Amino acid sequence: MKRPRLWLWQVLILAAVFVAWQLLTQPGLIPPFVWDNPDRAAFFFGEPVKMLKVIWAWFSDGTIYKHLWVTLEETVLAFVIGAVLGLAMGLWLGLSATASALLDPYITAMNAMPRVVLAPIFMVWFGLGIWSKVALGVTLVFFIVFFNVYQGVKEVSPVVLNNTVMLGASRRQLLRHVYLPSATSWVFSSLHTSVGMAFVGAVVGEYLGSASGVGYVIQQAEGAFDINSVFAGILVLTAFALVLDYAVTHAERRLLRWRPAQSETEQL
């Protein structure tokens, strides 16, 4: 299918889902067949029109921007800190056989642990502000980056390594000019996953206890049984995640210019 046609159909599917949703939940529109009360469907599943009105209200009076900003801040901080720590640890363990043999079981254990359970501890340590969410995001991002870098260091081409040695690189220069660029490329190849994880950490942290952020907005609405606002929050989060993903794709394209793209021909 051609591009514009494809987009048209994609928009139509979205519209169809919303229309069906609206028709099925509108109180009194269709005879109730699951619940005897006609308002029940709307109570559980919300009504798209009302949900969109909530979103419109959020953006028109500007209350949502503050929360989006907080969530973005947490996501970016969690990603940056987690990536730097993961890169450093990955390089260290990748290059030192002793360190990796020593720490291997602990890394495996920490990765196996469901890290969401750490959220309460981070709340106690860092309070209800952004840092407890950042900490949760960091634990999620760290392992993705760490494993990628660790693998990346192990898989540096020995020929490139030997060649660089023959060109006169010292051990430091080898780290800076071969291991680091090679490891960084692995960080970027896991960029989508790790930014996604930073985002998950931020939102889950907010949901579990905070005073701002989109996760907090959802949690508040849920407390008031305001299902339309819950769905509105989810929709805003999804759109936000899409924007984030787009930004990552853009950054990736710029930063990994030296790597052959799938569609690009290998030679001139």
The residues binding another protein (CB under 8 A) are: 157, 159-160, 162-170, 173, 177-178, 181-182, 185, 257-260, 264, 266-268
**In the complex with another protein, which residue's Cβ is closer, 250 or 259?**
259
Element (H, E) at 213: none
Q: How far is the CB of 259 from another protein (least distance, A)?
A: 7
Q: Are 71 and 240 in contact (CB under 8 A)?
A: yes
**In the complex with another protein, which residue's Cβ is closer, 22 or 182?**
182
Structure tokens at 199: 């985002």
**In the complex with another protein, which residue's Cβ is closer, 166 or 224?**
166
Q: How far is the CB of 142 from another protein (least distance, A)?
A: 24
**In the complex with another protein, which residue's Cβ is closer, 157 or 249?**
157
Buried b (16+ CB within 10 A) or exposed e, 54-72: bbeebeeeeebeebbebbb
User: Sign of the C-alpha dihedral, residues 78, 82, 84, 87?
Assistant: negative
Q: How far is the CB of 146 from another protein (least distance, A)?
A: 21
Q: What is the rounded distance in angstroms from the CA atom of residue 230 to the CA atom of residue 46? A: 9
**In the complex with another protein, which residue's Cβ is closer, 39 or 155?**
155
Measuring CA to CA, which residue among 103, 112, 192, 93 is closest to residue 150?
93
Q: Are 244 and 198 in contact (CB under 8 A)?
A: no
Q: What is the rounded distance in angstroms from the CA atom of residue 33 to the CA atom of residue 38? A: 9
Phi, psi of 215 (to 5 degrees): -60, -40
42 Cα distance to chain centroid? 30
Q: How far is the CB of 260 from another protein (least distance, A)?
A: 4
Q: In the chain, which ranges are continuous DSSP H helix?
A: 3-25, 40-45, 48-61, 63-95, 97-112, 119-126, 130-154, 158-166, 171-174, 180-189, 191-208, 214-223, 227-255
Q: How far is the CB of 103 from another protein (least distance, A)?
A: 27
**In the complex with another protein, which residue's Cβ is closer, 12 or 160?**
160
Q: How far is the CB of 243 from another protein (least distance, A)?
A: 28
Q: How far is the CB of 94 from another protein (least distance, A)?
A: 17
**In the complex with another protein, which residue's Cβ is closer, 3 or 171?**
171
